[in-house]
Amino acid sequence: MAALGVCITAAPCAYVLARQQGRGWRVLTFYFMATITVPVQLYLYPLYFIFAKLGLVNSIPAVALIYTAMFSPFSIFLLRTYVLSIPYALEEASEVDGATAWQKFYYVILPMMRPGLLTVAIIVGLNAWNEFVIAVTFLQNNDNVTAIVKFFSLTGQYSTDWGEMLAAAVIIVLPVVLIFVLLQRRFIDGMTAGAVKS
């Protein structure tokens, strides 16, 4: 859910920031950099207070919304450099054909952003899979906890079943390794495609 939310929100935002640079771009850059560098512990308490008031604690979509907000700035920066590598002549050609701004994005830019979107989805998915602080704070019901939180709960105060812990570690790591091995080439292509502006 977090990867999907980031891709849906970051793609049009990156397109606008890449093509419509104005005076506010420096302010937005500073804002995104600030959100990337601020540690999660700084806004954990006010965020929990708001979510508790709204009754969103122990809600998986609510946690996915937090992850979407956390990982969007980096994803926007990554996709913005990817959009800058797409020739503007393609958009001009679509304008000649009478395409609107939304049609240019949906039919011209978005298909060419697929490697970048896949890269963002992989990075966000891995970060959300491995994230602990938000998950352990907002998901307190045993039916909703993530794999990382469940793995942490396997550690006993006086004794630990190491066989159970090692089996759980394999179960947690195996999907991540398989996804990365299967999508390794597309991931690398997506990371390097937006590195050089053509």
Q: What is the pLDDT of residues 42-88, one digit of tens each?
A: 888 888 999 999 988 888 899 999 999 889 988 888 888 888 888 88
Q: Which domains does the chain have, with CATH numbers?
A: 2-193 (1.10.3720.10)
- The neighbour count for residue 151, using CB atoms within 10 Å, is 17
Query: What is the average pLDDT across 2-31?
Result: 83
Query: What is the average pLDDT across 178-197?
Result: 62
Query: What is the average pLDDT across 111-124?
Result: 86
8 Å CB contact between 152 and 169: no
* Joined tokens for residue 73: 């700035």
Please state the pTM of the whole predicted model.
0.78
Q: Residue 197: pLDDT band by 50, 70, 90 thresholds?
A: very low
* Joined tokens for residue 8: 């849906």
